[in-house]
Amino acid sequence: MKRVLPLFTSEPGEFPDARGRFGAYGGRFVPETLIPALDDLESAWRAARADAAYREELSALLQDYAGRPTPLSDAPRLAQVLGVRARLLLKREDLLHTGAHKLNNTLGQALLARRMGKKRVIAETGAGQHGVATATVCALLGLECVVYMGVEDVERQAPNVSRMGLLGAEVRPVEAGSRTLKDAMNEAIRDWVTNVRTTYYCIGSAAGPHPYPLLVRELQSIIGEEIAAQCAERLGRAPDAVVACVGGGSNAIGAFHRFVPDRRVRLFGVEAAGLGLDSGKHGASLSRGRPGVLHGSRSYLLQTEDGQVVEAHSISAGLDYPGVGPELSHLRDARRLEVLAATDAEALEGFRALARSEGILCALESAHAIAALPKLPAEVRDAANAAVVVNLSGRGDKDLATILKALGSAR
């Protein structure tokens, strides 16, 4: 009999509370029209996660279709190139089907949509990885799929736009605002408000109104569960640190959640510093934002002094977002999460270092996590007996045009 993966193993902990709050963050700040749909979603999710048939079906798909568990690769040459003395281990979500961790979430949500009798699925996407993962599961389960994507992202992530089309999804370019992920999400919410009775909204980040931050975290927590098991086998213990890039934060909370109660494991989130944290052109909401309300929940947010949301900037479309998931905001305030940042230029260097030392072309999002490794606190970075796991959330095929253009003659 096939092994069932350790899904939804976390105890129903302190957070979120019954109102969907993680401390001061989270909640439900959406039009009244959507509240009954969110209630339905929450009860459908609670029923599904308690249902052995749902868990077994998802577990089988994650193994036989998506390719879980993903490997944990030692990266000694990368450590050497970056001047890191700790042992580096890469959690290879880039090897998951569709090329990123996003499929963990969309498989679970699409099965949930089917249980709820919804035939139409909508999604927002920035880098296109969540859009591709949603289009993929909709093809697999025979569901109609519409993906909203900012015009700027449609241009810079062209391969993923083509993929979504080939998978049978309709990509709707969004012209409004900054024409990136933020605006795609606005438009997806408007679609949901309009078609809420027939449509399932598959959010890709651990963000949005309750229960999405909980739902996405539970579906992505398999990453951290596997890291824990693989480290136990390989090291005989938990890692000393886990590092992940943070846009909305789904790969980060997925990798971190298992370790939150274990204070010996330090958790590092790496935000996009864009052209520099002081340039005003970045996506570093935890580093430089203030608490605010966007896309249905309260969380750290890049905003003006009048409370208008400002446009983020990052070379990486997946990190080009002015908000962040509410649980990460809570973990930051609780000082459980340590926040670092990497600029566009540093991410490109990180990308190149990983390519040349380990033979892996990673996504620009994940390259931020690589780029932050030399910035880890010395007691982690320079300890030869320490083990640091980096969540390599996606692969870089989609970014080749951006990278080649940015590296220019340097290549």
- Minimal distance, residue 150 CB to other proteins, in Å: 13
307 φ/ψ angles, rounded to the nearest 5 degrees? 85, 20
Rank residues 84 and 301 by Cβ distance to other proteins and give the closer one.
301
Q: Which residues bind other proteins (CB under 8 A)?
A: 19, 27-37, 176-177, 182-183, 186, 189-190, 193-197, 290-296, 298, 301, 303, 305-310
Rank residues 166 and 176 by Cβ distance to other proteins and give the closer one.
176
- Yes or no: say if 79 and 86 are a contact pair by the CB < 8 Å rule: yes
DSSP code of residue 260? T
Rank residues 261 and 307 by Cβ distance to other proteins and give the closer one.
307
Rank residues 290 and 405 by Cβ distance to other proteins and give the closer one.
290
52-61 vs 35-49: helix axis angle to the nearest 10? 80
- Minimal distance, residue 33 CB to other proteins, in Å: 4
- Minimal distance, residue 345 CB to other proteins, in Å: 28
Residue 225 is encoded by which pair of tokens?
């569960």
CA distance 214 to 400: 33
Nearest residue to 285 (alpha-carbon basis) of 268, 272, 294, 266: 272
- Minimal distance, residue 19 CB to other proteins, in Å: 6
Write down the H helix ranges in 62-101. Answer: 76-82
CA distance 167 to 138: 8
Rank residues 214 and 392 by Cβ distance to other proteins and give the closer one.
214
- Minimal distance, residue 110 CB to other proteins, in Å: 23
Residues with Cβ within 8 Å of 183's Cβ and at least 6 positions away in sequence, in order, are 150, 174, 176, 177
Write down the H helix ranges in 12-150. Answer: 35-49, 52-61, 76-82, 102-115, 129-141
Rank residues 54 and 192 by Cβ distance to other proteins and give the closer one.
192
- The answer to whether 124 is a known catalytic residue is yes
Kindly name the residue from 124, 225, 226, 271 that is annotated as catalytic: 124
Residue 253 is encoded by which pair of tokens?
């909370």
- Burial state string for 178-202 with b = 16 or more CB within 10 A and e = fewer than 16: bbbbbbbbbbbbebbbeebeebbbb
Residue 54 is encoded by which pair of tokens?
């749902």
User: If DSSP states are collapsed to H, E and C, what string results for 354-391?
Assistant: HHHHHCCCECHHHHHHHHCHHHCCHHHHCCCCCEEEEE
Nearest residue to 328 (alpha-carbon basis) of 186, 183, 181, 207: 207
- Minimal distance, residue 367 CB to other proteins, in Å: 28
Kindly name the residue from 346, 358, 393, 398 that is annotated as catalytic: 393
Rank residues 294 and 372 by Cβ distance to other proteins and give the closer one.
294
Kindly name the residue from 91, 102, 118, 182 that is annotated as catalytic: 102
- Minimal distance, residue 138 CB to other proteins, in Å: 23
Q: Residue 383: exposed, middle, or buried by beta-carbon count in 10 A (0-12, 13-18, 19+)?
A: middle
Rank residues 187 and 346 by Cβ distance to other proteins and give the closer one.
187
- Yes or no: say if 145 and 115 are a contact pair by the CB < 8 Å rule: no
Collapse the DSSP code of 179 into the 3-class scheme (helix H, G, I; strand E, B; otherwise coil) and give the result. coil
- Minimal distance, residue 185 CB to other proteins, in Å: 9
The HSE-up count of residue 401 (CA atoms within 13 Å, CB side) is 10
Point out the residues that are catalytic.
102, 124, 393
